[in-house]
Amino acid sequence: LLVGIETSDDAAVYRLNDEQAVVATTDFFMPIVDNPFDFGRIAATNALSDIYAMGARPIFALAIVGMPLDKLPVNVIQDILAGGTSVCEAAGIPIAGGHSIDSVEPIYGLVALGVIHPQRVIRNSTARSGDAIVLGKALGIGILSAALKKGALPEEGYRQMLATTTQLNTVGHRLSEMAGIHAMTDVTGFGLLGHLAGICRGSRLGARVAFESLPVLPAALSLAQQGYNTGAAARNWASYGHDMRLPDDLAPWQQALLCDPQTSGGLLVTCAPQAVASVLSLFRDEGFASAAVIGQMQAGAVRITVDYRFDKDGNPVESQ
């Protein structure tokens, strides 16, 4: 066993031989959107993300299905499964089986299996001091979900939400083949600060983040400023806020955005400074237009310091 539960990494990794390791993960949840086909797509994309976050290539999946058979019409269930199948087809893998039960609420997800060379596994615990921190997707999915539940999400906001949550993090496999990539995870339910904290704890390093460098979905930015957020963001902050240092004048909506739970969020990568240009170029080539450098790993206390922005020498700059 190469990767287990020690650092709360994205997937388990088991070495089969000198050339191959199998990567295994599972993820499932209840609907976050009303459209059944979209729900299936989002859930499947989210489940496969953990394979890519280890640097691996998925090979097949198993479906996890729980449906209230006395409440949902058969065609709705079929649409959910079809959404998941469409994503797996896009990833080039089959759904080779699975298990279903009669449940109180709809549940859908996947067990995902992948393969990778044992020496190319990218963990969440191997960042180095001085590494640049790159985020692959824009933040704000939890905020858009909160607005959707309240009937306040405009059509363009839903389009942004769906486009982001159904974009496969395929770039992860190619990143594992690049020099200078030291650590990687994906940003999901614990929000940006929570998943970066996982890298910090595993690597025994601190991190600095420039708030104004964070990519944010345009619709989410507007809604966040109006006060839309999730209860999960507050719970996230309560669980790890003691390890964070924020500017005294940071607005509540800005703090909520830092803790905003993502579904099928972006890859969070730490890399050597000389690899940054190649990493960003690769993200762009794979269609991740929002990818950006958001901070730096640093030696010292295991905590995250958020500044508004850095100057050309990497020093924090106060808000104007």
* pLDDT at residue 320 tops 60: no
Backbone dihedral region for residue 227 (phi beyond 0: left; psi -120 to 50: alpha; all else: beta) = left
Q: What is the mean pLDDT of the chain?
A: 95
Q: Which domains does the chain have, with CATH numbers?
A: 12-120 (3.30.1330.10), 132-317 (3.90.650.10)
285: exposed, middle or buried (C-beta count within 10 Å: 0-12, 13-18, 19+)?
Answer: exposed
Confidence of residue 17 (pLDDT cuts 50, 70, 90): very high
pLDDT (tens digit per residue) in 53-80? 999 999 999 999 999 999 999 999 999 9
Confidence of residue 318 (pLDDT cuts 50, 70, 90): low
Q: Which residues partner with 26 through β-bridges?
A: 111
3-state secondary structure (DSSP) of residue 76: helix
3-state secondary structure (DSSP) of residue 35: coil
d(CA 141, CA 151): 15
d(CA 275, CA 222): 33
* pLDDT at residue 315 tops 90: no
Confidence of residue 43 (pLDDT cuts 50, 70, 90): very high
d(CA 93, CA 61): 7
24: exposed, middle or buried (C-beta count within 10 Å: 0-12, 13-18, 19+)?
Answer: middle
What predicted TM-score, i.e. pTM, was given to this entire model?
A: 0.94
Return the H-helix or E-strand segment holding 256.
helix 252-258
* pLDDT at residue 202 tops 60: yes
pLDDT (tens digit per residue) in 243-262? 999 999 999 999 999 999 99
